[in-house]
Amino acid sequence: MKKVMFVCKKNSARSQMAEGFAKTLGAGKIEVTSSGLEASQVRPEAITTMKEIGIDISDQTSNALSEFQPENYDVVISLCGCGVNLPPEWVTREVFEDWQLDDPAEQPEIFPRVRDEIKQRVTQLLETLNVASAS
């Protein structure tokens, strides 16, 4: 089973939404975690935006990347362009991608658009990993 780490600056929105999508769309087929270059709190807007489409991320927590070991992950996805700030052992995993998505924390009105972009990217990632759900 592939282990996926989604990373963002503060692990408050984009990486949290990606974790929610991956856990839902890849249920039973991958293990998913998210973290940030620093920990903060899951933004209420992220929780609300995901709840609008039936995914509950309210129990997810914000964690610092330093709490995890890179060798425990096969796939590392940066959602904010922070890949350049990651230690080399994180960017040399089996799969590393840097999606560079807009930060909805700066413009809350774009949460739905960013959420939909994340869903599309996560779906493509799961297809690439051959763990796409049948739904």
The answer to whether residue 134 scores a pLDDT higher than 60 is no
Q: What percent of the chain has pLDDT over 90?
A: 90
What pTM does this model have?
A: 0.94
pLDDT band at 133 (very low <50, low <70, confident <90, very high): low
Taking Cα atoms as reference points, which of 4, 38, 37 lies closest to residue 19?
Answer: 4
The answer to whether residue 135 scores a pLDDT higher than 50 is no
- Interval 78-111: pLDDT, tens: 999 888 889 999 999 999 999 999 999 889 999 9
pLDDT at position 84? 86
- Interval 31-61: pLDDT, tens: 999 999 999 999 999 999 999 999 999 999 9
Q: What is the mean pLDDT of the chain?
A: 94
> Mind listing the domains of the chain with CATH numbers?
2-128 (3.40.50.2300)
Taking the mean position of all CA atoms in its chain, how far away is CA 89?
A: 18
Angle made by CA atoms 43, 4, 50, in degrees to the nearest 5? 30
Which two three-digit tokens encode residue 37? 């270059």
Q: Report helix, strand or coil for 81.
A: coil
Which two three-digit tokens encode residue 106? 């700066």
pLDDT at position 32? 98
Residues labelled catalytic: 8, 80
- Interval 10-31: pLDDT, tens: 999 999 999 999 999 999 999 9
Q: Is the distance from CB of 7 to CB of 70 less than 8 angstroms?
A: no
> What own/partner pairs with CB < 8 Å and gap ≥ 24 does 108-111 have?
108/45, 111/13, 111/45, 111/46, 111/48, 111/49
The answer to whether residue 132 scores a pLDDT higher than 70 is no
Burial call 31-41: b when 16+ CB within 10 Å, e when fewer? bbbbbbbebbe
Paired strand residues for 64: 36
